[in-house]
Chains A and B, each alone.
Chain A
Amino acid sequence: MDSARARVVDIVRAALGDFSPDPQSDFDFLADAYSRNPGAARRAVRQREEPTGAGWDSAVQVVQIVFCAVGVELAKDLVLFSARKAGRKPMAFLRRRRRRDVTLDTVAPPMPPELAAELHATAVEVAVARKVPRDKAEEIATALVARWPRQG
């Protein structure tokens, strides 16, 4: 799994480099943290996480984490697509392996060119769900889809 994870991380890092020129010195730290606890990343956007009301702007999430989340979602879709293409029934596959178990540690299958638009839309939705403004979400999706390895 390490190689698969490293592949996704590499893709996300590359896309992140296109998105932000700043040096991403702590990307590996963040990617590792996300890998270990993606649920915490999802909850971090809630203001109620600060019961004393100290963190009023806690809805701001680290952009690297948004990239990781979007990357994982793309990987999930591609895993499902690969399974379908291999003749497996998606539901049967899901029974064996639930969607939420697909994480950064799984796989990063190459992207069929015909799926690029569909995956781009998915990426935008995921970023928006993370409270990223839509224009930024578009940029993130474009950077990730552009950096994702293509089939053929």
Chain B
Amino acid sequence: MIRRRPDPFLTPAATTSRFLLLIVLTLGASAYTATWWVGGAGGWTEGYEACIAAAERDRGGALDVTNRFLGCYDGVGLLQAGVGAGAALLVAVVLWLGCRLHPWWLIRRRGLTPLDATYSAAAWEIDRLVAEAGLPKAPTFLVAPFNDSLGGRALGRPGHYHVRLNRRVVHQVDATTAPVLRAIVRHELAHIRNRDVGRTVAAILSGWVFMLLVAVPQLVAVAIIAPRDLGDLAWRLAVAGTLIALVRASVIRAREHYADVRASVPAVANREEPFVARAFADRPPATTRLGRWLRYVLTPFAAHPSTRVRARTVATPGRLLHAGFVEALATGVTVGLSWPYLTTLSRFLLSASVFHATLATGIVLGALTVAVLGVSLWRTTLRALVGRDRLPTGTTAGLGLAAGVLIGQTVSVQLDPSGWLAALLRHPLQGVLAAGVLVAGCLLFCRWSIGAAAAWLPVARGRTFAAVLWSGQAFGALAFGTVLSIWATIVALIAQSAHPWSVPIGAFGSLLDAIVLLSLLGAAVFPLLAAGRRPLPGRQVWLDGGEPVQLPRARLHPWLALAPPLVVVTIILVVDRFVLANGLFLPLMLWFGRGEVAGGYTQGLALAYGLIGTFVVLQLIMFAAVTIAATRRDGARLGVAHGVVASVLVGWLGGAALLAAPFATVCAGGDCDLYASGVHIGVTQLVTGVVAVALAMVVGPVIALVGWVLRMGRGDRWRWPADSVPRTPIGRRWPRRVALTLVAVVALAYAVPVGLYWFVATGPLPALDGGSTPDAVADAPDPDPPGTVTVRAACEQAASVGVLFSTVDVLETRNMELGSMSAATDSPAMRAFGRVVMDGTRRANQEITWLGQRGITDYCHHVLPTLPADPPGSPSTPTPAPKLPPIVAFGQDHGWPNGSSVNVALTGWSDDATVTVEVRVGNSAGQPVSAATLIVMGVVRGRSARLVPYPAEPPPTTVSDGPLRVRYAYPVAADAATVQVLVGDGAIGPASIVAFSGPVPTR
């Protein structure tokens, strides 16, 4: 009698996930080949270049040129995507037809004959076995009359299954041969029960499809058209073909093992042999030494496992609950291979920005990854829980996944100009760093999957784990998809721009997108939500029955994540209300809601930044403390998840909950702008979330490393704690429900303003009146003459703008810079796109801005790889020298249409001169150009230097209380010859709106 065997059917079978991988690989390879084939030797470049050439010749209006260019470009892109999608569809139809026609073809070709009364003894036994299997509909049994070996095969489709049995199996049924008949019939019925019959045919066909529709046509075409490229293509195809062969073989092997295990259940119940080895033929042994060696080396490609391995798997089916390196590698390669193609496709199909196309691609491939590897990690976690073993680390799988992604991108048929290899070749150090980010992301994903599984599996309801497993995969797909998109953003920045800080900018800049941030925060919260479920008293996890067992449960500490932030924020609230005279939050709320604050914009901003800085420190302390406290020896490694939740809560409560009372106070007068308040709160919460995730990315690994070193030093062996299986029933139901409701409310209160801000920033919702369109943008000067900026410089600027998702005003300033640079190139098309960007940004019309941006990025996508590097000293600086808009002499007023005005004077020589800036704030409708938007810079002897470091402006002197007039005084260095003062909204760089200039008076 065999030992207790864990039930591998509690989680989806590996056959399904590997089959999915194989189909995606095959369809992806077919689509890629078809686009390559139809695109000709130039790979569609000719089509895109024709659009670019037409735009260069077009002398129409800027918007018309842009629209015509994008129409042409999208036409070529849609054709390219359509050809790929059509090819994939065609191959899918071929596979479907193959599966559909296969039974008919096999019956005819092999002369299969229905089982009849000739074999009455066998028929009686088969009827008994069919009843035992409990199938909804019995299959038709056919005899292969010309085959006298032992064997059988299931074929057909749901509702129309057949089982072929060789004549020898049914010919004579006696005490000796009956076990063989039973073993074969049970095995084939198990295939039907496992619903993997059609997958075998599709898996076999996929190999032929790749060979006949992908590999051979490409090789022949290249041999004729470009023989020099034959070697390069051959090795890439060899890698892809090898991968398909590996996955194909693993699909077929996996289905055999699952069928063996399924078939062994009734056998064990009837006290028969669980696996009758003599019923299944083995491959004849190799006769030569070389043959044996080759057989060993090619084992991974063998489509059928040996009877020895099959018997071992039946005895220990826990072997099927395993996440292997090869599976992870294959998943990664598929992701890497599909990446460039899917990004192109999603850009055209979704008409999305580069960043959001990348994000969409990441989520699609994230779904594939979790369907294969994520489910595998849950399986392997289940095995550890059932056996009360140490949880797996996920290191092997994570490394395999990362290596696969890098290999996949490298072996893509065409070098992706935004791919990792291009980035590595351009900036080796940053390329290596980007690879490190990918490895870290993959390791985090694998560890998170295991932690989530350890948290949820012990509390899952139902006969199988399907509900919690697929919920976990949904969170995992979003989280890993965002990790992939962050990585791709970093890589694109490195490959397309010369920014030295591409890695941190790409990593943390991507977090400013609400989808990215909320996906990652959702992933952090998901395992902790398992604390709201009561563990089951016991669950049947054994294949052959037996006592139900309670799975050990990873220790979760939801109160550790919730309580400290509550305490800290309560203290802050008490201090704010009872210790500080005017409170901190009411002035901030006044500024948020009405744009009014006693100290002006600068004061308000300083207050906001001060608060944010305080909370960043608090978040850091909270993250570190909670992570360390929660990282107990529970093996689930969910300390970081606790830390992120606690860290976000501190920020969230500070940014929103504590603002509630001031918000109510402000709005009680009916004078608050709910929309503006919501958007500003969204920004604040976005920042707190970004800080929390950034801490997890930077501080989390440090804590993990220190913990690992400490454990190494102690050399202790991990074991499940004694109380990991709590007594039952556990806890009352209502406190958990109340806690879960609170969590849902908090999550919604966090996500809604962040989502609101996302919709404002990306365009569907209107921007805030005036406030989000800096006057510096509205009054920006005309661009420099053509040729003063190189196309390469403009394209590099476009890369950094395109992949970064920034706060509104910074984004608009950046857009203005991009438009200005593009409009100053020697390319007529780029000049048109640049003018469209500038016009759209000035008018706060995001639709027009987006058109111009798309024109620039699409143009650069094709032109940038062909451009030579800018020579040193060329006019290619990303930030052109600021043009000085209307220069006003010292002592003269400069007024704005809304009534605001400014006057700058040089006064009072003693030892040093003093610049006095006097601002009169307008009170007309709309966002005034106010003291709050004032930034003063000085240019001393041609060298730009702020007179006073921003934002530490000198305290203003209030001149009058009616229409607010404030005066600032700045010292001027004694050696200054000339002084220039730039005054304006966000006057960092070229966005100044007015300049005062003049010589320093003689002493």
Contact = CB atoms under 8 A, between A and B. Distances in A.
Interface stretch (A13-21, A33-41, A78-86, A103-111): A33-41
B146 A61 contact: yes
Contacts of A94: none
Contacts of B147: 44, 55, 58, 60-62
A56 B284 contact: yes
Contact of A62 (B113, B148, B151): B148
Interface string B864-904: 00000000000000000000000000000000000000000
A32 B114 CA distance: 12
Given A26-B118, A33-B111, A52-B304, A60 B148 contact: yes
A43 B109 contact: yes
A52 B102 CA distance: 14
B145 interface: yes
Nearest to B150: A57
A53 interface: yes
B113 A29 contact: yes
A44 B146 contact: yes
Given A36-B111, A41-B111, A29 B149 contact: no
Nearest to A62: B148
Given A25-B118, A61-B147, A62-B167, A54 B153 contact: yes
Interface in B633-676: none
B167 A54 contact: no
Interface string B127-163: 0000000000000000111111111010000000000
A26 B167 contact: yes
Interface stretch (B265-273, B275-283, B456-464): B275-283
Given A44-B110, A56-B281, A56-B284, A30 B153 contact: no
A40 B252 CA distance: 25
B834 to A, nearest CB: 60
Chain A CB within 10 Å, residue with most, of B144, B147, B171: B147
Contact of A55 (B116, B119, B151): B151
Contacts of A62: 145-148, 167-168
Contacts of B143: 29
A57 B279 CA distance: 12
B304 A54 contact: yes
Given A52-B252, A52-B303, A26 B149 contact: no
A10 interface: no
Contacts of A54: 151, 153, 280-281, 304
A126 B694 CA distance: 79
Interface residues of A, number: 31
Contacts of A60: 147-149, 168
Contacts of A43: 109-110
Chain A CB within 10 Å, residue with most, of B110, B149, B200: B149
Chain B CB within 10 Å, residue with most, of A40, A53, A59, A60: A40
A65 interface: yes
Chain B CB within 10 Å, residue with most, of A50, A51, A59, A63: A51
Q: Is the interface of B mostly helix, strand, loop or mixed?
A: loop
A62 B283 CA distance: 20
B204 A51 contact: yes
A29 B114 CA distance: 10
Contacts, number: 93
Contacts of B168: 60, 62
Contacts of B740: none
Contact of A52 (B118, B145, B171, B204): B204
A76 B598 CA distance: 113
A62 to B, nearest CB: 4
B999 to A, nearest CB: 91
B302 interface: yes
Nearest to B118: A29
Nearest to A51: B204
Contact of B149 (A25, A36, A57): A57
A53 B303 contact: yes
Nearest to B171: A26
Given A25-B118, A37-B111, A52 B200 contact: yes
B317 to A, nearest CB: 20
Contacts of B281: 54-57
A30 B524 CA distance: 66
Chain A CB within 10 Å, residue with most, of B116, B150, B204, B281: B281
Contacts of A25: 118
Nearest to A56: B281
Contact of A29 (B116, B200, B204, B280): B116
Interface of B: 108-111, 113, 116, 118-119, 143-151, 153, 166-168, 171, 200, 204, 252, 280-284, 302-304
20 contacts: A34-B145, A34-B146, A39-B111, A40-B109, A43-B110, A50-B153, A51-B204, A52-B200, A52-B204, A52-B303, A53-B304, A54-B280, A54-B304, A55-B147, A55-B149, A58-B166, A59-B149, A62-B148, A63-B148, A65-B146
Interface of A: 25-26, 28-30, 32-34, 36-37, 39-41, 43-44, 49-63, 65
Given A43-B109, A56-B281, 9 more contacts: A30-B145, A30-B167, A52-B204, A54-B151, A55-B151, A55-B166, A60-B149, A60-B168, A65-B146
6 nearest A-B pairs in the assembled complex, by CB-CB distance = A40-B111, A37-B111, A44-B146, A33-B145, A53-B304, A41-B146
